Amino acid sequence: LWRSELTGRLVRNVAIEPVPGGAEQLHSLRPPCVPPVPLRCRHQHLSSPPPPWPPSSLRQQVVAPVAASQQAVASPTTEESSTSAPELREQGEWPEKTSLYLLRTDGKSCSRELVTGSGKLHFAYPSTQQHLIVWKSRPETVMIIVKLGNELVNEFMEVVRFLGREGLKVVVEPHVFEQHVAGNHELLPYVYTFATSETSRLADCVDFVVCLGGDGVILHASGLFNHNIPPVIAFNLGSLGFLTNFSYNNFERDLGNVIRGSAKLDSCSFANENLDEPDSAQLGVMVTLRMRMECQVFRSNSEEPTEVQEVLNELVIDRGSSSFLTNIECYEKGRYITRVQADGIMLATPTGSTAYSVSAGGSMVHPNVPAMLLTPICPHSLSFRPIILPDYAEIELRIPTNARSPAWVCFDGRSRQELQAGDKVRVKMSENPMPTINRTDLTGDWFDSLDRCFRWSDRLEQKPAWSDEKPVGKDAFR
């Protein structure tokens, strides 16, 4: 680069070389295959701004020798030389872009796309899609999970009798069976229970789950089906009910829509062969696949996890009853990220972003966004802010050996246990999401819950600045 002292303009890719006779020659840094083209020199100040770089036409500029006592300036002329280099675009000599392959992977499968020189990189489809569940044959078994206590006994009995009239087998938890079914001969023919040791087999026989209560009942269902879980429909009979979008007043209609199907995707079609109900084969229910996290607890000097939990809301590590701050080392796939010195730290799913995480200052994230939220609890640092990580992140939270006190970990508010120095918890996205049945659609249910439970963005509307006649001009801003 060389700056002209006469014009103050920045001349790019210009060099000065000594030539025989004491003169100096200005020339552009051109490829050796392009011959130099003489240009005129003008000793005048150019008030116009410099041309954009790179220039629209790729011409090679050369300035003839001038006297050594005279300072020369290379300036583009308004008159084009008759011997100027032709534009490459006119001759079709622009080089073509090199084609490339774009590999897409979700960690499980991989696809390859060819992007030609004239092509472009683009999203083949949104990262999240709508999901519709269509029964291949009519569901036969349903499980009912009800809130603890006797508050919802009448609602529970009404739902059980309706499902019995629909010809479905009903499964309930052992304590519910003992309290409300064992002595009722009307319900015994189609209501069943299970032994506690057989809980892991529920997912193999239950077609869908009905929850009666609030968000705690859904969290209980997630813990009951620790791995694979059937679709869940939840009726709002609890305190807050952010995840329970169905009203109990219409439970017969809503359960009938789940059994027989009521929605379809216009963009999807498939053949009706080998289906038991061809007339309604394309009708189903819209669901949200809510991400869960797999949490593995490793004790000190142990290579195998001593416990594996799947959480729907969040994993929390806090200081418990200790008066010291927690001292937690945070790693992502073995790479050290930070040291947490706070009351605690939590990793939340998008579903859990509207629970404990939002109370600690985290963002509210739509459940279909593939992400993990790292939210500190009262950090002793002004710069430690909540962050959102991609769903393929693998986080390790480790208690260092020099920690002043142990920490405590809990999973969705349950299975609380102590973590000693050297213990660690590894967290990653679970392969088993929780499918919750939508009342309207993926986004509509979420915004309805924000408005119903949080009064999100609720504010008195600003009054207009005038009442009758709208002022104009400067009077409008007085």
Task: Name the active-site residue from 207, 215, 318, 412.
Answer: 215
* pLDDT tens per residue across span 371-408: 999 999 999 999 999 999 999 999 999 999 999 999 99
What is the reported pLDDT for 374? 97
pLDDT at 169 over 80: yes
Q: Is 279 assigned a catalytic role?
A: no
Buried b / exposed e across 57-90, counting CB within 10 Å, b at 16+? eebbbebeebeeeeebbbbeeeeeeeeebeeeee
Where is average pLDDT lowest: 62-66, 154-158, 359-363, 399-403?
62-66
Cβ-in-10-Å burial (0-12, 13-18, 19+) of 388 comes to middle
What are the φ/ψ torsions at residue 233 (nearest 5 degrees)? -115, 130
Q: Which of 410, 49, 37 is nearest to 219 (CA)?
A: 410
The rounded distance, in Å, linking the Cα atoms of 315 and 300 is 20
Look at 73 and 140; give whichever has higher pLDDT: 140
Confidence of residue 112 (pLDDT cuts 50, 70, 90): confident
Taking only the tens place, the pLDDT of each residue in 70-108 is 444 444 444 444 455 556 555 557 777 777 877 777 667
pLDDT confidence tier of residue 30, bands split at 50, 70 and 90: very low
Per the model's pLDDT, the better-predicted residue between 16 and 426 turns out to be 426
Region of poorest pLDDT, from 4-13, 304-313, 322-331: 4-13
215 strand-pairing partners: none
Q: How confident is the model at residue 175 (pLDDT cuts 50, 70, 90)?
A: very high
Q: How confident is the model at residue 257 (pLDDT cuts 50, 70, 90)?
A: very high
Determine contact, residues 443/369, Cβ cutoff 8 Å: no
Ranked by mean pLDDT, which of 17-21, 258-262, 269-273 comes out on top? 258-262
Q: What percent of the chain has pLDDT over 90?
A: 55
pLDDT exceeds 70 at position 36: no
Q: Is residue 292 predicted with pLDDT exceeding 90?
A: yes
Per the model's pLDDT, the better-predicted residue between 109 and 195 turns out to be: 195
pLDDT attached to residue 477: 56
pLDDT at 15 over 90: no
Task: Over range 358-363, report the average pLDDT.
Answer: 95
Whether 427 shows a pLDDT value over 70: the answer reads yes
**pLDDT beyond 90 at 130:** no
Would the pTM count as exceeding 0.75? Answer: no
One-letter-per-residue 3-state SS of the chain: CEECCCCCCEECCEEEEECCCCCEEEEECCCCCCCCCEECCCCCCCCCCCCCCCCCCCCCCEECCECCCCCCCCCCCCCCCCCCCCCHHHHCCCCCCCCEEEEEECCCCEEEEEECCCCCCCCCCCCCCCEEECCCCCCCEEEEEECCCCCCHHHHHHHHHHHHHCCCEEECCHHHHHHHCCCCCCCCCCEECCCHHHHHHHHHCCCEEEEEECHHHHHHHHHHCCCCCCCEEEEECCCCCCCCCECHHHHHHHHHHHHHCCECCCCCCCCCCCCCCHHHCCCEEEEEEECCEEEEEECCCCCCCCEEEEECCEEEEECCCCCCCEEEEEEECCEEEEEEEEEEEEEECCHHHHCHHHHCCCCCCCCCCCEEEEEEEEECCCCCCCEEEECCCCEEEECCCCCCCCEEEEECCEEEEEECCCCEEEEEECCCCEEEECCCCHHHHHHHHHHHHHCCCCCCCCCCCCCCCCCCHHHHHC
Amino acid at 290: R
CB count in 10 Å sphere of residue 180: 18
pLDDT value, residue 411: 96
Q: Write down the pLDDT at residue 92.
A: 58
Range name among 132-136, 290-294, 451-455 with the lowest pLDDT average: 132-136
The type of residue at 124 is A
- Find where tokens 């640092």 sit: 381
- Whether residue 117 contacts residue 96, with contact meaning beta carbons closer than 8 Å, is answered with yes
pLDDT of amino acid 50:
52
d(CA 227, CA 452): 31
Say if strands 371-379 and 387-390 run parallel, antiparallel, or are unpaired: antiparallel
pLDDT reported for residue 11: 41
The pLDDT score that the predictor gives to residue 476 is 60
Task: Indicate whether 124 pLDDT > 70.
Answer: no
User: How many C-beta neighbours within 10 Å does residue 234 have?
Assistant: 25
pLDDT at 97: 73
Average model confidence (pLDDT) across the chain: 80
Q: What is the pLDDT of residue 117?
A: 64
Tell me: pLDDT of 260 over 70. Answer: yes
Q: Give 177-236 pLDDT, tens digit per residue.
A: 999 998 888 999 999 999 988 998 999 999 999 999 999 999 999 999 988 899 999 999
Distance CA 375, CA 361 (A): 8
Q: How far apart are CA 345 and CA 326, in angstroms?
A: 9
